[in-house]
Amino acid sequence: MLKVGINGYGTIGKRVADAVAAQPDMTVVGVAKTQPNYEAHTAVQRGYPMYAAIPERAPLFAEAGIEIAGAVDELVAEADVVVDATPSGIGAENRELYEAHDTPALFQGGESADVVDVSFNARANFDAAGDADHVRVVSCNTTGLSRVIAPLQEEYGVEKVRATLVRRGGDPGQNTRGPINDILPNPISVPSHHGPDVQTIFADLDIDTMGLKVPATLMHVHALNVTLDERVTAAHVQALLEEENRLYVIPAGMGIDGVGKLKNFALDAGRPRGDLWENCIWGESIAVRGRDLYLFQAIHQESDVVPENVDAIRAVTGLEPQDASMRLTDDRLGVGISGDPAGFSDQRVSHADD
Ligand code: NAD
């Protein structure tokens, strides 16, 4: 059983912890938090040993009735791999700690690419993480773009990608973010930084991106235009994308006309936290003009990187090769929605030994 420590137990960290706990070949040896808030109490309920990310704050946990297993460096020493899910920039500061214990570490998309040896997406470059000690699971948007680009590139070849990213202003709990009543070109400069981030996965890809931020918390939406190397039909592209387990092509007739209904769909189906680990591509939006493909996809920013973190753990430790890892991750989490309206996979997320 591979021992995984999670440093930073917020939006991403708590989901990764549950996803790791659901796998048969790895276990959560502990989570590190800075404060004994509601998420800390949930971690205790779920049975994750709690470590103090800032040792001087350990007494605050005791006052809140939370037993501390140790300080974060003890967690790093105990773990075979650490998943750093701290806020952007903190991961880079933590790298020294992981190096001191010779513990391989995964970082998240908020860190810059030069903090790590390899930027990672399970579908596109799983094997690149094999010899790495420091791996960055790319951001929610870059993950969403990479999952679509990889099969298109393999099947048809890609000449150029143009993407407009309509981004949620903040996550549901981020009540200090915005805009509240505005539509922001963000960044105003074109192209946005998202294209270069995708190039950390596809080094030679020609891609330009533009970004906006809108008053929403649920999901991002991408308007994608891909110039392919060959002429194809929309039906052929749709069939290709439907073969990918981490892409959900929303069938016509589902009545899902926006991300609000997508989230309702996930909640109604009993998805934990209403998570949508898959890219959600509107089937009716898939259109082809000459060699130009167009589509709309929605990306659940809080959860699409979660299966990728599980696969990255297997990639850096050599536990399983790409296909076996992705299948196991998806099976244990319940990732995958077929075209059948009742097509959610079994909802599995629970401790592997339950
Ligand atoms: P978050 O703020 O929800 O969670 C971060 C957690 O780390 C919080 O619980 C915070 O208290 C804790 N923390 C702060 N300083 C710490 C320290 N020194 N040691 C340990 N823990 C510390 O943030 P998040 O949204 O989970 O983002 C984490 C990373 O994931 C960032 O790099 C972010 O860019 C990336 N990411 C976020 C999203 C998203 O939509 N939320 C999507 C993909 C990637």
Residue 228, pLDDT score: 98
Residue 354, pLDDT score: 41
Three-class SS state of 98: helix
Distance, in Å, from the CA atom of 278 to the CA atom of 259, rounded to the nearest integer, reads 13
Exposed / middle / buried, residue 77 (Cβ in 10 Å: 0-12, 13-18, 19+): middle
User: How far apart, in Å, are the Cα atoms of 168 and each of 49, 179, 351?
Assistant: 33, 9, 31
Length of the chain: 354
Residue 344, pLDDT score: 62
For a ligand 1 pocket test, name from 12, 38, 50, 74 the mutation site with the most ligand atoms within 8 angstroms of its C-beta.
12
Question: Do 347 and 334 contact (CB within 8 A), yes or no?
Answer: yes
Ligand 1 mean position, distance from CA 46 (Å)? 19
Report the nearest atom of ligand 1 relative to the CA of 12: 26
CA torsion 270→273→279→282, rounded to 10°? 60
In the structure encoding, which two tokens stand for residue 3, read together?
Answer: 């021992």
Distance, in Å, from the CA atom of 174 to the CA atom of 313, rounded to the nearest integer, reads 28
Chain centre to alpha carbon of residue 96: 24
Residue 131, pLDDT score: 86
Ligand 1 mean position, distance from CA 219 (Å)? 17
Ligand 1, atom 20: closest residue by C-alpha: 8
Ligand 1 mean position, distance from CA 158 (Å)? 34
What are the DSSP E strand ranges found in the chain? 2-7, 26-33, 50-52, 68-71, 81-84, 105-107, 118-120, 134-137, 158-168, 184-185, 207-214, 220-228, 247-250, 279-282, 287-289, 292-299
Order of strands, edge to edge, in the sheet holding 68-71?
Answer: 68-71, 50-52, 26-33, 2-7, 81-84, 105-107, 134-137, 118-120
Residue 345, pLDDT score: 57
Report the nearest atom of ligand 1 relative to the CA of 107: 32
Which residues pair with residue 30 across a beta bridge? 5
In the structure encoding, which two tokens stand for residue 29, read together?
Answer: 């040896």
Q: DSSP per residue over 281-306, as a string?
A: EEGGG-EEETTEEEEEEEE-TTTTTH
Distance, in Å, from the CA atom of 353 to the CA atom of 26, rounded to the nearest integer, reads 11
Ligand 1 mean position, distance from CA 232 (Å)? 41
In this structure, the residues whose C-beta lies within 6 A of any atom of ligand 1 are 7-13, 32-34, 53, 85-88, 90, 108-111, 139-140, 171, 301-302, 305
Question: Do 308 and 85 contact (CB within 8 A), yes or no?
Answer: no
Report the nearest atom of ligand 1 relative to the CA of 94: 18
Ligand 1, atom 23: closest residue by C-alpha: 87
Rounded to two decimals, the pTM is: 0.96
Ligand 1, atom 19: closest residue by C-alpha: 53
- Which one of 29, 82, 138, 140 is the catalytic residue? 140
Report the nearest atom of ligand 1 relative to the CA of 86: 7
Our answer to whether residue 140 is catalytic in this structure is yes
Residue 140 amino acid letter: C
Quick one: DSSP state of residue 115? G
Exposed / middle / buried, residue 126 (Cβ in 10 Å: 0-12, 13-18, 19+): buried
- Tracing tokens 């974060």 back to the chain, one arrives at 72
Distance, in Å, from the CA atom of 342 to the CA atom of 246, rounded to the nearest integer, reads 17
Q: Is the dihedral of CA 104, 108, 110, 113 positive or negative?
A: positive
Ligand 1 mean position, distance from CA 153 (Å)? 32
In the structure encoding, which two tokens stand for residue 316, read together?
Answer: 């850096």
Ligand 1 mean position, distance from CA 10 (Å)? 5
Ligand 1, atom 4: closest residue by C-alpha: 10
Report the nearest atom of ligand 1 relative to the CA of 93: 18
Residue 341, pLDDT score: 53
Q: Which residues of the chain have pLDDT under 70?
A: 339-354
Ligand 1, atom 27: closest residue by C-alpha: 87
Distance, in Å, from the CA atom of 208 to the CA atom of 112, rounded to the nearest integer, reads 19
